[in-house]
Structure 1
Amino acid sequence: MTSLALGQMRRRPAAFLGLAVALFLAIATVTLFGSLFAADVTSPTAARKAAEGPGLMAIAGAFGEIAVLVAFFVVVNALGFALRQQHRELALLRTIAATPRQARRLVRGQVIVTTLLVAAPGWAAGAAGARSLLAELRRRGMAGPGVRVPGTPVPMLVALAAAFAVGLAASAVAARRISRIPPAAALTASSTEHGRTGAPRLLAGIGALVGGGLLLRLAATRPAERSDEAGQAALLGSLVLLIAVALAGPLAARVVAAVLGAPVRALAPGAGWLADANLRGYARRLSSAVVPVTLLVGLSGTMLLMTHTAGRAAGATATTVTSATDTWLRQAELALLACFAAVSTVNTLVAVTAERRREFALLRMVGATRPQLLRMLTAEAVLNTAVGVLLGAGVAGVAAAAFSTAVAGSAVPSVPVAGCWWIVAGAAALTVPGILVTGLWAVRGPAAELVGGGRD
């Protein structure tokens, strides 16, 4: 099984590269914030008392709880995509007498190998990030001059254990379907895509939706002087709502794409019609492409609206609802979360497009030209961006409304129009070029050879 696992990873480097980057970010994030916790625990009492503000452990906790959840959310999404790309190979293994247990063991082996490969770089990046962040906190007076990152390996071991736990749990869920159904049915299912979202996934999505709503209600009921608690609850609520969107992704993305597809078909009757049909016909693939964009827009939009709303509330009431330190912390958190979401977006979109080489070759064999395929991909990229932006904006809007209710007494947040446009432009800049550049590579080569499996 080890050789099979490594063979699959070599055969599909695009899918596993995305998983590797996601696991790298997760390990680096846990190492970073674990190192800050360790620095606070091992620092002298006098150094902790010399710091101003909430304290190093509180800052690390406020940063870490959201950043770690986002990092592992990216891991689960990347792993699910990587396994969907192996559906046919796993089905073929089942038809030649591989047992469900062996199929699950193959998937676990891939997760373990990928995690071990990125562990050392993740540890190094996390430790370097902890030292840099601690130095900036010391410069701003939020950490005492005697606080240092200790040399203990505990944060690194915790990061590795957490990555293993999340990766193996996610792989068990993802491999469940292919390992439970009969081999012949598994092979048939691998060649098609089911449009329906399973009942357990929908129920989990509904549960996440309810949980997100409760967190936003908690944020909205915080008093103005406890705006930090309201902000953390609103940000955590937005993340839970984004998880709900991911769980119901195929259904939600297809509904929004159906609404947006009409104008695209009208503007580009040929390429637009084909792009719209592709997106709605392959709901799971659409969800894989849309969820990272939704994550990027949802988290960035929530942080931007919350920061702007807090600043406006402070100016209107002449209170200390926010401060330069609070603003810097929120901006740093926004930069970190946006980085995770941006990496996830690029990885997923490149992998999704690269895996369609055979599909593009089939279209070329029935008469489609390369320029026509690129126009179709352009229309798909625009639709992907629009669907992700709309879903992410909806999450950001309700989260910011809850925060605004707490700090300003109004459910209408302050909206920085220019900043929102920059988020939309950033999402488009990551989505459209990523799809088109990968598409240029994917449409190259002899169509007959690609269809016949002569090239990967």
Structure 2
Amino acid sequence: MSPVLALAAGQIRRRPAAFAGLAVALFLAVATVTLFGSLVAAQVTAPGAVARRLVAGPGLLLIAGAFGEIAVLVALFVVVNALGFTLRQQHRDLALLRTVAATPRQVRRLVRAQVAATVLLTAVPGGTAGTLAARGFLAALQRRGLAAPGLRIPGTPVPVLVALAVALLVGLAATALAARRITRLTPAVALTADTSGQRRTGVLRVLAGLAVLAGGALLLRLAATRGAGELDKAGQATMLGSLVLLVALALLGPLAARAVAAVLGAPVRVLAPGAGWLADANLRGYAARLASAVVPVALLVGLSGTMLIMTSTAEHVVRTTGATTSVTKATDVWLREAELGMLVCFAAVSTVNTLVALTADRRREFALLRLVGATRRQLLRMLSVEAALTTAVGVLLGAAVAAVASGAFARAVTGSVLPVVPGAACGWVVAGAAALTVPGILGTGLRAIRGRAVEAVGGERGERG
């Protein structure tokens, strides 16, 4: 075995927790590409008589393309995000390699070998899960008349091989970006560089965020100016506009998260003077870290809220006017629910991966607090307040996106910017976001504050999980 492969395998064995999030993200990416690739293969390899049979919906190829485009993009975003945290937890190790004469090229080769090994580890389970999911999804489409009855998922390995190639290419491309920060610095600077998320938001990132925000506003204006008879087009523009706004939120996350945290932090400081003050200071002082935590929560709440409120408003209009469109047809509602479920799954995985990685990365910080007199109980109270604030900030940002987007849709179809909000369904979305966020932070925090503080301060971050 070459030295690079030996180092890569050693890092994976030594830090399984650091690679767990990346493995899950790559598993989802492989399974997703296999799923929709298998659907395309089913249509392409079908006998002529079966392939030409008319169906009630847009057809299997169009459904696979529409679903796959969004789902694959979100899955790949999760991969890039997870890889960034994996490298962040190895920052000290990679910097030490630089100090013993490893070149930037050798460090990049090491990271590429780690990604390739993780992709191979997820190949069989991801491909198997994707194939099984494709069979189940095709059967569900056939029951609703959206796919020809004679279609079958073929036994060809091509979709799995394509999925592996895509995951590997994305992982290697993400490696070039994620490893840039450690390899562009001198060894001494890299060893002492801050990885806590206290960096200032760059000007280019702010300008890009503002440009994307303007694009989302234009799309929602287009949705709002549609006539009452163009319910379908208004719905399409609304969903696209909400996605663009969420991209803008990801770019402007540190600024937006800090502003909302400042508003929410004031009453928290009063209600919990000790733990509340420390939690608020942590969240506002490390804006990049806060943004990394709340953006997946906002993605989950924003997408779910927009689709639920838009569908509820459209159904209200249909009950009033009696006109049925693709927004309210049972088959299309089911398709949107299936798409939403898939996106929520990806958002949930991204949320858990991000929160676990961020909290585990603070082990040394917690140890320093213990050395200056903080007890484990006080740290847990601080983390509890942080978890509540993080959930609240993410929910509020996501709800803001959903409110603006659904307001534009309501303006188009009812003449009023006040949509019909399904309170119970939206409540479950908020409860789901809290269920992902709070246990993730507290569970990882409990593990991070174990052991002796002196050893944690003198050791390295992200020890063996």
Please name the residue that 1:19 is paired with.
Answer: 22
Residues 263-298 of structure 1 show CA distances to partners (whole Å, capped at 9, x for unaligned) of 111110000111111112222222222122112111
Quick one: which of 243, 246, 250 aligns to 1:242? 246
SS of the equivalent of 1:251 reads helix
Please name the residue that 2:38 is paired with.
Answer: 35
TM-score computed with the length of structure 2 as normaliser = 0.91
Residues 71-127 of structure 1 show CA distances to partners (whole Å, capped at 9, x for unaligned) of 112112212222222223222222222222222222222222212211221111111
Amino acid of the structure 2 residue aligned with 1:18: G
- Give me the whole-angstrom Cα distance separating, in 2, the residues matched to 1:317 and 1:364: 64
Quick one: which of 330, 337, 360 aligns to 1:331? 337
CA contact (8 A) 1:374 1:439 kept: yes
SS of the equivalent of 2:374 reads coil
> How far apart are residue 210 of structure 1 and its match?
3.8
CA contact (8 A) 1:195 1:250 kept: no
Quick one: which of 380, 395, 399 aligns to 2:401? 395
CA contact (8 A) 1:14 1:350 kept: no
CA contact (8 A) 1:195 1:281 kept: no
- Aligned runs of 1:196-207 on 2, under 5 Å? 196-207=200-211
Unaligned runs of 5+ in 1: none
> How far apart are residue 136 of structure 1 and its match?
0.8
Please name the residue that 1:439 is paired with.
Answer: 445
Quick one: which of 334, 339, 348 aligns to 1:342? 348
**CA, structure 1 residues 152+240, in 2 after alignment: closer, same or farther (shift >3 Å)?**
farther
Q: CA RMSD in A?
A: 2.3
Amino acid of the structure 2 residue aligned with 1:12: R
> How far apart are residue 358 of structure 1 and its match?
2.2
Amino acid of the structure 2 residue aligned with 1:24: F
Quick one: which of 93, 99, 106 aligns to 2:97? 93
- Aligned runs of 1:151-166 on 2, under 5 Å? 151-166=155-170
2:363 corresponds to 1:360 = no
Amino acid of the structure 1 residue aligned with 2:143: R
CA contact (8 A) 1:274 1:376 kept: yes
CA contact (8 A) 2:196 2:289 kept: no
- Aligned runs of 1:38-187 on 2, under 5 Å? 38-47=41-50, 48-187=52-191
CA contact (8 A) 1:75 1:167 kept: yes
Residues 236-258 of structure 1 show CA distances to partners (whole Å, capped at 9, x for unaligned) of 33233222222232232222212
SS of the equivalent of 1:241 reads helix
Please name the residue that 2:380 is paired with.
Answer: 374
**CA, structure 1 residues 390+63, in 2 after alignment: closer, same or farther (shift >3 Å)?**
same
Amino acid of the structure 1 residue aligned with 2:19: F
Please name the residue that 1:320 is paired with.
Answer: 324
> How far apart are residue 407 of structure 1 and its match?
4.3
Paired residue total: 456
CA contact (8 A) 2:198 2:285 kept: no
Amino acid of the structure 2 residue aligned with 1:326: D
Unaligned runs of 5+ in 2: none
CA contact (8 A) 2:410 2:419 kept: yes
Residues 384-423 of structure 1 show CA distances to partners (whole Å, capped at 9, x for unaligned) of 1011111111222223234334444544322112221111
CA contact (8 A) 1:91 1:190 kept: no
Which stretch shifts more, 386-395 or 284-293? 284-293
SS of the equivalent of 2:206 reads helix
CA contact (8 A) 2:27 2:126 kept: yes
Residues 295-326 of structure 1 show CA distances to partners (whole Å, capped at 9, x for unaligned) of 21111112212221221222122111211112
- Give me the whole-angstrom Cα distance separating, in 2, the residues matched to 1:252 and 1:444: 33
- Give me the whole-angstrom Cα distance separating, in 2, the residues matched to 1:11 and 1:280: 33
Please name the residue that 1:309 is paired with.
Answer: 313
Residues 36-82 of structure 1 show CA distances to partners (whole Å, capped at 9, x for unaligned) of 12222233454343421222222222322221222112112212222
- Give me the whole-angstrom Cα distance separating, in 2, the residues matched to 1:24 and 1:213: 35
Amino acid of the structure 2 residue aligned with 1:433: P
- Give me the whole-angstrom Cα distance separating, in 2, the residues matched to 1:308 and 1:281: 40
**CA, structure 1 residues 94+368, in 2 after alignment: closer, same or farther (shift >3 Å)?**
same
Amino acid of the structure 2 residue aligned with 1:380: E
Amino acid of the structure 2 residue aligned with 1:35: S
> How far apart are residue 226 of structure 1 and its match?
5.7
**CA, structure 1 residues 359+183, in 2 after alignment: closer, same or farther (shift >3 Å)?**
same
- Give me the whole-angstrom Cα distance separating, in 2, the residues matched to 1:377 and 1:146: 55
**CA, structure 1 residues 51+212, in 2 after alignment: closer, same or farther (shift >3 Å)?**
same
Which stretch shifts more, 44-53 or 102-111? 44-53
